[in-house]
Amino acid sequence: MYEFLLAAAVEAEREALQQRAHGLTVIVTGAGPAAAATGAAWVLATEPYELALSVGIGGGFAPRAPIGSVAVSTRVVAADLGADSPDGFLPVEELGFAPRVEQPDERWSKRIATALSEAGLNVVTGTVLTVSTATGTAARTEELARRHPDAVAEAMEGFGVASAATMAELPFVEIRAISNTVGPRDREAWRIGAALEALTTVGQTLSALQAPDVA
């Protein structure tokens, strides 16, 4: 039997994930990469797990990840970690002191994406960006899309959980149920309820993947 650790930012995400799941460990870390890294690292240092996941709702880059879809990471990027300059934003990788973070485990990403698709969800795969400030303008959206043309979603915790998983030498995957489109902030267009319903299916699916008959 596999044992997964799921890290969510808020209690509503945990409730949705565990609503119809059995034996699924979900912790609430708080929002942002620092809180996510701290919360996940604390648990991973004391309990054995086979896989760490950052799971919750997030924004999707249109048209690749429409509202209602579920994004499964093939790569995670700390999109606003770096330095400003007269020539524009410089990613931390170009500054020469990028933190060592293992990318999502390809085998687990494919396995989870397939299982979620079979559960009836509209699954997209690609890069999930981690930001400390959620995008709320067209200009910012265009900048991120230009720098990360393979981006499908944006959230605030994935890189933090990936950092903790790397320290614990565990594979990592990020899953985001898309509640809104990345772009100008429009709360009336968000579909948080539908995204939380999708997370319930995500939780059920991950619980089944932990079962002995699937190991």
Q: State residue 98's pLDDT score.
A: 66
pLDDT value at position 213? 56
Greater model confidence, 93 or 206: 206
Arch. (CATH architecture) of 4-214:
3-Layer(aba) Sandwich (3.40)
pTM value surpassing 0.85: yes
Residue 82 has pLDDT above 90, yes or no: no
In the prediction, which pLDDT does 215 show? 42
Residue % of the chain over a pLDDT of 90: 69
For strands 123-130 and 151-155, give the pairing: parallel
User: Which range among 57-61, 65-69, 85-89, 153-157 shows the weakest confidence by mean pLDDT?
Assistant: 85-89
Residue 90 confidence (pLDDT) above 70: no
pLDDT of residue 60: 94
Name the band, by pLDDT with cuts 50, 70 and 90, for residue 214: very low
Three-class SS state of 182: coil
pLDDT higher than 60, residue 103: yes
pLDDT digits (tens, 9 = 90+) for 18-43: 999 988 999 999 999 999 999 999 99
Q: What pLDDT digit, counting tens, does each position of 41-72 carry?
A: 999 998 889 999 999 999 999 999 999 999 99
Sign of torsion over alpha carbons 104, 106, 111, 114: positive
Q: Write the CB contacts of 97 (distance below 8 Å, at least 6 apart in sequence).
A: none
Q: Which one, of 3, 117, 123, lies nearest residue 52 by Cα? A: 3
> Percentage of residues in the chain with pLDDT exceeding 70?
95
For residue 27, what are the β-bridge partners? Answer: 7
Q: What is the pLDDT of residues 106-121, one digit of tens each?
A: 999 999 999 999 999 9
What kind and span of H or E run contains 12? helix 11-18
C-alpha dist (Å) from residue 20 to 1, 2, 199, 201, 213: 19, 18, 10, 8, 19
* Mean pLDDT rounded to a whole number for the chain: 90
pLDDT at 212 over 70: no
